[in-house]
């Protein structure tokens, strides 16, 4: 049986007899009490989102999800199309399923779709994705507020991100999709 340490974003647990997708989680330690995990859960049957606080160590039931590696094809409106390269099956995901991660999509990107009862319910992104920089103003002053000198650059898929001053058009940069931050310049 699984426990609270298995709770993370994208995991589906069986809770109160319904499958629930973990959309957010946070560890809390009141110090004078045990540790807890505060979660946001989406009921996959009703679509209702609710919060629950689990005690660390509490037993939970993980729902096994079917995983399929797919390639991103294109977007049309609020829908995003993916294809399983083995079976040539295509799947369409709404923007609500991608939950903000749609900005990291680029043509040909491989991601993992997780299925519950044949329906794709969430996407696992690679932690690091590289992009070609299509716009980067040279020699701007940069933003020193955070103590790190950065500037905004635009990637091939339209993603705007803060990167160090030395990044120029044509460079390939690696972005951490978990933190949403620039990670490094890819070696050519």
Partner 1 sequence: MPKKMSLKKEKGRQEKFLLRAKIISLIRDFFCKENFLEVETPSLVKFPGMEPHLDPVKVSLPILDGRCEVYLITSPEYAMKKILAAGFRNIFQICKSFRGGEAMDELHNPEFTILEWYRAHADYKDIMKDVERLMVYIARNLQKKTGDNLKLKIEYQNQEIDLTPPWEKLTVREAFRKYAKIDLDKVLSRETMAAAAEKKGYVISKDDSFDDIFFKIFLSEIEAHLGRKKPTILYDWPAQMAALSRLKRTDPRYAERFEVYVGGLELGNAFSELVDSAEQRKRLVAERKLRKKLGKVIYGLDEEFLEALREMPPSGGIAMGIDRIVMLFTGAKSINEVLFFPASKIF
Give the footprint of partner 1 on this chain (CB under 8 A): 15-16, 27-36, 38, 51-53, 55, 58-59, 144-147
Shortest Å distance, C-beta 69 to partner 1:
31
Shortest Å distance, C-beta 50 to partner 1:
8
Q: Show the tokens assigned to 56.
A: 């660390």
Torsion sign, CA atoms 67, 73, 79, 84 = negative
DSSP symbols for 135-147: EE-TT---B-TTS
Shortest Å distance, C-beta 36 to partner 1:
6
Shortest Å distance, C-beta 38 to partner 1:
6
Taking the least distance from each CB to partner 1, the nearer of 25 and 115 is: 25
The β-bridge partners of 147 are: none
Contacts of 110 (CB under 8 A, 6+ apart): 69, 70, 71, 72, 126
Shortest Å distance, C-beta 32 to partner 1:
6
How far is the C-alpha of 66 from the C-alpha of 84, rounded, in Å?
A: 13
Taking the least distance from each CB to partner 1, the nearer of 41 and 114 is: 41
Return the exposure string of 108-123: e unless at least 16 CB atoms fall within 10 Å of the residue's CB, then b. ebebebbebeeebbbb
For the chain, give me the number of helices (H) and strands (E)?
Answer: 1, 16
Taking the least distance from each CB to partner 1, the nearer of 55 and 79 is: 55
């Amino acid at each position: 049986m699984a426990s609270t340490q298995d709770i993370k974003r994208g995991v589906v647990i069986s809770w109160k007899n319904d499958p629930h997708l973990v959309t957010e989680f946070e560890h809390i330690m009141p110090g004078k009490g045990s540790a807890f995990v505060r979660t946001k859960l989406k009921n996959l049957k009703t679509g209702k989102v609710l919060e629950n606080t689990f005690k660390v160590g509490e037993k939970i039931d993980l729902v096994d999800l079917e995983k399929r590696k797919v390639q991103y094809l294109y977007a049309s409106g609020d829908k995003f199309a993916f294809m399983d390269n083995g079976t040539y099956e295509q799947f369409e995901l709404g923007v609500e399923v991608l939950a903000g991660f749609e900005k990291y999509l680029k043509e040909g990107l491989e991601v993992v779709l997780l299925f519950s009862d044949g329906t794709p319910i969430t996407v696992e992104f690679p932690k690091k994705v590289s992009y070609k920089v299509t716009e980067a103003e040279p020699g701007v002053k940069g933003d020193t507020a955070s103590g790190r000198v950065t500037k905004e650059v635009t990637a091939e898929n339209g993603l705007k991100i803060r990167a160090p001053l030395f990044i120029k058009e044509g460079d390939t940069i690696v972005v951490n999709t978990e933190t949403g931050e620039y990670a490094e310049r890819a070696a050519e």
